[in-house]
Amino acid sequence: MMTTGVDRPARRSRPKDRKQRILETAAGMFRDHGYHGVGMSDIAGNLGIVPSALYRHYRSKHDLLVAVLDAALARYERAVEGVDDWETATDRIAQAALDVRAFDLLWSRDSGNLSPVEYDQLFQRLRGVGRRVAAMIEVGSEAGCVPSRTTAWAVFAALDWPGHRPLAVPVADQRRTLASAVDAIVVAGRLGIGDTSDGQAMSPDEALSASDALSASDAMGGLRPASRRETLLGTAITMFAVRGYQTVSLDDIGDAVGIAGPSVYNYFASKREIVASGVSRAFESLWLTLGQVLRSASEPRQALDDLTGHYARFAFDHWDLITVCLSHSGILDDAERTVLERTYLDYVGEWRRLEMECRPELSPDEAQALVDLALAVINGVVRIPTLRTPALPDAARHLARAVLEAPIIRAGR
C-alpha cells in the first residue's frame, strides 16, 4: 500500500550552515564552561536540535574540541598567509583574534585532553604562525632588541586576551584598540633595550624549533618548604599549570610529595580548594607589592613603571600561579568566583587610576583596555617555557609599558 505525500509530515530542511553553527556554539560553551563542563546534549540544547543531529557531523565531544582548535588556528594561518610586512598583517591578525576569542583559554586549559599526536600536530601549526610573525618582526629590528620570538608571543598574548575577558571599549573600537596595542608591541620589540638574550641568541627558526614542553618534575625542582601544606599547595599548582586541572588527581599530587592521595584531605578539602588557595595567595602578594609601590612613588608615572616591573618579576617567578588564575579559576564555585572577580577589578582599578593620571585623554574604559592588554602581554610570555631566561622580566616590562602608552583610535576618527 502506498501513502500519499499529503499523509506524510513535512520534513524540516537542514540548515546549510549547521556544521559551522555547531562549531561556533561548542567553542563558546567550551570557553565559558570548560571542556569537562559541557556535554553533547548541552550543545544540542543550545542549538535547538537533538543530540543525534550533532553526531552526523562530529563523532564525539573530543572531535568537536579538536575541530574548534583547528578552526581557530586556521583563522590565524589565513591572517598571515601571503603577508610579508607587519603593517599589512596587523589588522588581519587583530580581526582573526576577535573572531577566534577562545583559543588561548582552550589551549592552556583543555589541550591536555588531546592525544599526543593531535597535540603535536596542532602545536606545530601554532609554531608555524609564530615563526611567520617573528620573521616579520625581525625585519628592521635594532641590535640588542627584544628577541623577535618574545615579541611575537607578546603579540598573540595581547590578541588572545578578549577570549579571557571582553575588552572594555565599545565593540566598534575593539579591533582598532587591539591593532594599536599590537603595533606598540612590535615597535617597542624592535628597539634595542640592552642584552636580553642571556648569552648566545637563537634565530627565530632555532628558537621556535626548541621544545616548549615542560614536565612537572622539571618545574618542581629545588628545595621544598618544611610545611607539608605549603609543599602540597606549590606542587599541585605547578601540576595543574603543566598538565591541566582535570587530568591531575589527588593520588597524583600525593605521589609527587610522597604521601598517599587521601592524605591530601588532611590539608585541603578538595582540588578546588587548592586552586582557591593559590588564587588567593597570588592576589594577596600582588596587593602587598602594590601598596609598597604606591608608598615609595613620588608621582603616577613612576608608580606605574615600578608596578609594571614588579608585576613582570612576580609573573616570571610564579608563572604556574598565573597559568592557574587564567585558565582554571573557572572551576571555583559561585561565591569564590564573585570574590575573585571583585578582587581582580579592585586590583586592576589601581592600575587604571594611575594610567588615567598619566594619560588624562583616556576614558576609564580605554584605560582599562590598555591595562588589561599590558598585563596580558606579561602573563602570556612568562608561560612559554623556552622564553623564560633571566632577561625575560625586563623584556616583558618593556613591551607592557609600550602597550600602556599605545594611542587610542576611536571610531569616526
101 lies in some domain: yes
Which parts of 48-170 fold into alpha helices (H)? Answer: 51-55, 61-80, 86-100, 103-110, 116-138, 148-159, 161-164
347 lies in some domain: yes
- One domain, residues 246 and 389: yes
Identify the pLDDT of residue 72: 87
Count of domains observed in the chain: 2
- One domain, residues 256 and 380: yes
193 lies in some domain: yes
- One domain, residues 110 and 196: no
Is pTM beyond 0.85? Reply is no
312-361 per-position pLDDT tens digit = 999 999 999 999 888 887 788 888 888 888 999 999 999 999 999 999 99
66 lies in some domain: yes
285-299 per-position pLDDT tens digit = 999 999 999 999 999
- One domain, residues 103 and 195: no
- Regions of the chain where pLDDT drops below 70: 1-16, 194-222, 411-413
Identify the pLDDT of residue 15: 63
- One domain, residues 264 and 359: yes
- One domain, residues 195 and 105: no
- The domain containing residue 36 runs over which residues? 17-139
Cell numbers at 108, concatenated: 592552556
- One domain, residues 329 and 389: yes
Collapsing DSSP to helix, strand or coil, 127 comes out as helix
- One domain, residues 133 and 194: no
Asked if 117 and 65 touch (Cβ cutoff 8 Å), the reply is no
- One domain, residues 310 and 220: yes
Answer with the one of 119, 139, 159 that is the final residue of a domain. Answer: 139
Query: Residue 65: which CATH number?
Result: 1.10.357.10
Return d(Cα 230, Cα 361) in angstroms, integer: 46
